[in-house]
């Protein structure tokens, strides 16, 4: 009997160790944004694993690609254009500093109506808009009312995104690494290594990349390296302390 109990204890310890390691495993989310203007953007669907797709509103191919991602049970969020400090062209669905509360919320509602299964947003540009208290408050109020989360792309060190989201109870996180500011494999691999390092140090890391052919090719080669490093690629929503009973998150998991 004592030998049986000893074996049982060893088995219990092994199970506990496996469970603990899986619970404490480092996790990364990779968000591909700027999706929607080019037919070739659909190539991002070939990247292996739980990639998160961030789609620009009212673009020629955005909704179609979003539906394909949803059909594969992958996270889809809205990539909302926001005014930059450089005055860059924003495109449809944009939020600007001169918009009042009604116009901001109406614009966000129209974008969500197009892709109603989106579970959050992140900002496209926005180095000026994300620094504005009133405009970001109205944006976060809309997210709160529609049970959406916010990913701050961090295009300005002065962004108020997480601060205001926290004050209003909106789940929010920030981008840690841009993967493809330069479109060559060596640079993307360097940034990917940085992503792994951040995840191993902090348990969680979020990367943003874009639907360039060079990025697709690089990530197809690099994503398998996460397992080798003991890091899990997860949907972005898995990193948020969300209310799992919220209808929108239950729907996204189905």
- Distance, CA of 14 to chain centre: 34
Residue 184 to residue 215: CA distance in whole angstroms = 8
Whether the per-residue pLDDT at 252 is higher than 80: the answer is no
Distance CA 24, CA 201 (A): 12
pLDDT in tens, 119-142: 999 999 999 999 999 999 999 999
Rounded CA gap, 176 and 145, in Å? 27
Separation in Å, CA 120 to CA 76, 93, 99 = 8, 15, 21
**pLDDT confidence band for 241 (50 / 70 / 90):** confident
Burial of 214 (0-12, 13-18, 19+ CB in 10 A): middle
Contact 197, 231 (CB under 8 A): no
Please state the φ and ψ torsions of residue 193, each to the nearest 5 degrees. Answer: -65, -40
DSSP string, 12-70: HHHHHHHHHHHHT-EEEEEEEEEESS-GGGGGGGGS-S--EEEE-TT-TTHHHHHHHHH
Which class in CATH covers the domain with range 26-253?
alpha beta
pLDDT digits (tens, 9 = 90+) for 54-72: 999 999 999 999 999 999 9
Residue 206 · residue 175 · CB < 8 Å:
yes
Q: pLDDT tens digits, residue range 193-237?
A: 999 999 999 999 999 999 999 999 999 999 999 999 999 999 999
3-state secondary structure of 208: strand
């Amino acid at each position: 009997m004592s030998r049986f109990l000893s074996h049982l204890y060893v088995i219990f310890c092994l199970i506990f160790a496996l469970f603990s390691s899986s619970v404490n495993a480092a996790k990364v989310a990779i968000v591909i944004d700027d999706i929607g203007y080019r037919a070739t953007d659909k190539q991002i669907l070939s990247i292996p694993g739980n990639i998160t797709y961030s789609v620009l509103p009212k673009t020629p191919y955005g909704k179609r690609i979003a539906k394909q991602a949803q059909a594969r049970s992958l996270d889809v969020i809205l990539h909302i254009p926001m005014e930059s400090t450089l005055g860059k062209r924003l495109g449809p669905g944009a939020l600007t500093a001169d918009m009042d509360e009604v116009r901001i919320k109406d614009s966000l509602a129209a974008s969500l109506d197009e892709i109603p299964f989106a579970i959050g947003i992140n900002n496209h540009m926005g180095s000026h808009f994300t620094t504005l208290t009133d405009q970001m408050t109205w944006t976060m109020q809309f997210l709160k009312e529609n049970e959406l989360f916010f990913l701050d792309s961090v295009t300005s060190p002065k962004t108020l995104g997480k601060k205001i989201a926290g004050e209003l109870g909106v789940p929010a996180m920030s981008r840690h690494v841009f993967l493809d500011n330069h479109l060559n494999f060596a640079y993307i691999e360097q940034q990917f290594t940085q992503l792994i390092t951040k995840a191993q140090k902090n348990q969680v890391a979020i990367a943003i990349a874009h639907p360039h052919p060079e990025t697709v090719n690089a990530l197809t080669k690099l994503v398998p390296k996460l397992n080798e490093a003991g890091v899990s690629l997860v949907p972005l929503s898995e990193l948020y302390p969300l209310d799992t009973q919220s209808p929108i998150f239950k729907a996204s998991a189905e």
